[in-house]
Structure 1
Amino acid sequence: MSKSKRLIELMMTVNRMRKFTVKELADQFGVSPRTILRDLQELSELGVPLYSEVGPHGGYQVLKERVLPPIAFSEEEAVAMFFASHALRHYSSLPFEAESSAALQKFYYYMPGDVRDRIDQMKNRVDFLTHTRKQQSSFLGILLDAAVKQRVVTIEYETKRGLSKRSIQPVGIYASNGFWYCPAYCFMRENLRLFRCDRMHSAAYDNSGMKPLDHRHIHLGNWRSFGSEKLMYVRMSAALTREGVQRCEAELWPVPRIDVQPDGSGLLMQEVPASELPYFAKFFLGLGNEAVVTEPKELVDLIKKLLKELIRKYES
């Protein structure tokens, strides 16, 4: 095995093993311990963060801030990776904002000149737009970390009645329509709730000794089905124009079930929580002539009430 190939394989091996001895590596690669020591010295000079311990239980280990081994991308893969990361710039807040910016700059800098030229030519030809919001979500990092590590977080949350201090155990975070959301178990409500991240005024790991729940089986794809609060569902139907279909598919979450016709119009038919009818009333009112709600009657009445209030405002 050539030295260059051995160094690359050695870099991948030490990242995988994390802790090892010189003898273990020498036996695995079929070289002398002295050769392995020289190779480890070269890896250290290349930036691999190695730490050595002496004694009967000593050896080498890779520090937490490890350097990943090099990965060979094709030109098309490199361009795809660049624009996947480049698209994140439209979000005013990210859970790894500084890291993604640094990674993108490093990725771009080390590309061949002709690939950089190709990317420069494509920047104004392709984009992935999302709504840009003024509201900042400053605690995405701690929420994501708490979701992964199953930890409790104490937050100050903005409600209609003012700031509310509560302890939550996040399930995860997701972005929709320009906002960041955090489904979490709320210890005050003793139930899973959905929080808007930009409405959190503070967030810190809980230091009161509150024991986290075992929610490893709950994730973003199934959290709604684990709520202990029994929600009453009603059937919602609405006739949509072509533009109404596009607006509903783009703005409603989860993505609604719509029977789309050949001309682009459609019929929305879905079971929704009765508690969310006020939200849907405002949403469909905003669609104007692009939607006509047919059921439930409670939703139709809410839309009529909003229309009457709107007319009174403009007549006064």
Structure 2
Amino acid sequence: MSKSKRLMELMMTVNRKRKFTVKELAEEFGVSSRTILRDLQELSELGVPLYSEVGPHGGYQVLNERVLPPIAFTEEEAVAIFFASHALRHYRFLPFETEASAALGKFYNYMPGDVRDRIDEMKNRVDFISPQRQSAFPHLAELLDAAIRQQVIAIEYESGGRQDCRDIQPVGIYARGGLWYCPAYCFRREDFRLFRCDRIRSVVPGPERKPLDMRHIHLGNWESHIAAKRHDADCYVELTKSGVDMCEAELARRVPMHVREDDSGFLKGTIPLGEIPFLARFFIGLGREATVIEPPRLLAEIRKVLSELMERYE
């Protein structure tokens, strides 16, 4: 076996084993222990994070930041992955901000010159625009990690001009309209709630509270697990063609949308009563492109907001 092939297989082996001894590897590859030691030294210089442990039960171990074996991409696949990561640059805060930047740099720097030239030409031809927000989202990685590990965390949350502490178990995080959101089970409310990540001021490990088994709950179905005690109201809103376009991104997760053959449509479903203030201001912003039919409480809130605006601008 050539040295280059042995190093490649050795890299994949140590990533798979995580913990091993020089003797084990020497027997597996049919070489001397001295050769394996030299190979491990070369892997370490290439960036494989190894460290040794002394003693009768010692050996080598791979740190958590494992280096994946080389993966062969076609030119089109490499360009697609580059731009998928490049599109995230509009978000000032990401769960893997440093890692994404490093991965993007590796993709670009190790590509052939003609592929880099192609990417440079495409950078100003392809983009994925998201609203620029001034809000900070410093706890995204901690929220995502708690969701993956099924952990309870304590957060300090600001809402309505005041801060309080909540024990929550996150479902996950998602971005929409330039903002990050975290649906989570709130132990105070004994139900699921949606938290805006920029309003989370601190995150610490939760108290000695047993986590819930939420392995079957994810971003696609968490809303269906909200307790039935939540007070909802039937909602119906007529939309013009432009209204459909304007509602599609913002309300698709809140109220089912139905589109007619002429591209006009309507919203029909239920809404939480707690979202009426937000929806009133949203539909006012749509002007003539949306006509709210029900619920009456939403109509009353719209009239109230419009009346306040009239008083301000008279």
TM-score when normalising by structure 1: 0.90
Q: Given the alignment of the two structures, is residue 106 of structure 1 paired with residue 103 of structure 2, yes or no?
A: no
- Which stretch of structure 1 is more off in the superposition, 121-130 or 255-264? 255-264
Gaps in structure 1 of 5+ consecutive residues: none
CA displacement at 1:32 relative to structure 2: 4.9
1:221 alignment partner in structure 2: 220
- Which stretch of structure 1 is more off in the superposition, 233-242 or 284-293? 233-242
CA distance 1:258–1:211, shift in 2 (3 Å): closer
SS at 2:144 equivalent:
helix
Paired amino acid for 2:221: N
- Measure the CA separation in 2 of the matches of 1:267 and 1:162: 37
- Measure the CA separation in 1 of the matches of 2:152 and 2:256: 35
2:139 alignment partner in structure 1: 139
- Measure the CA separation in 2 of the matches of 1:137 and 1:75: 34
Gaps in structure 2 of 5+ consecutive residues: none
1:159-238 superposed matches below 5 A: 159-206=159-206, 208-228=207-227, 230-238=229-237
- Alpha-carbon contact 1:139-1:202 (below 8 Å) kept: yes
- Measure the CA separation in 1 of the matches of 2:192 and 2:16: 37
- Alpha-carbon contact 2:95-2:144 (below 8 Å) kept: yes
- Measure the CA separation in 2 of the matches of 1:204 and 1:188: 17
1:239 alignment partner in structure 2: 238
CA displacement at 1:23 relative to structure 2: 4.2
- Measure the CA separation in 1 of the matches of 2:281 and 2:256: 19
TM-score when normalising by structure 2: 0.91
- Alpha-carbon contact 1:249-1:256 (below 8 Å) kept: no
CA displacement at 1:55 relative to structure 2: 4.2
CA displacement at 1:270 relative to structure 2: 2.1
Any idea what the Cα deviations from partners look like across 1:93-142, whole Å, max 9, x if unmatched?
A: 11122221222122211211111110110011000111111111111121
- Alpha-carbon contact 1:249-1:255 (below 8 Å) kept: no
CA distance 1:30–1:253, shift in 2 (3 Å): farther
- Measure the CA separation in 2 of the matches of 1:125 and 1:64: 38
CA distance 1:262–1:213, shift in 2 (3 Å): closer
- Alpha-carbon contact 2:152-2:209 (below 8 Å) kept: yes
- Alpha-carbon contact 2:169-2:184 (below 8 Å) kept: yes
- Alpha-carbon contact 1:168-1:185 (below 8 Å) kept: yes
- Alpha-carbon contact 1:52-1:61 (below 8 Å) kept: yes
- Which stretch of structure 1 is more off in the superposition, 236-245 or 216-225? 216-225
Paired amino acid for 2:21: T
- Measure the CA separation in 1 of the matches of 2:68 and 2:254: 37
CA distance 1:187–1:114, shift in 2 (3 Å): same
Paired amino acid for 2:153: V
1:153-164 superposed matches below 5 A: 153-164=153-164
Any idea what the Cα deviations from partners look like across 1:19-77, whole Å, max 9, x if unmatched?
A: 12334434444555454343323212222122233444333221223222222211111
- Measure the CA separation in 1 of the matches of 2:252 and 2:267: 14
- Measure the CA separation in 2 of the matches of 1:276 and 1:48: 50
- Measure the CA separation in 2 of the matches of 1:279 and 1:271: 15
Q: Given the alignment of the two structures, is residue 150 of structure 1 paired with residue 162 of structure 2, yes or no?
A: no
Q: Identity over the aligned pairs, expressed in percent?
A: 65
- Measure the CA separation in 2 of the matches of 1:46 and 1:59: 20
Any idea what the Cα deviations from partners look like across 1:178-206, whole Å, max 9, x if unmatched?
A: 11111122222222211111112222223
- Measure the CA separation in 1 of the matches of 2:91 and 2:215: 28
Count of aligned positions: 314
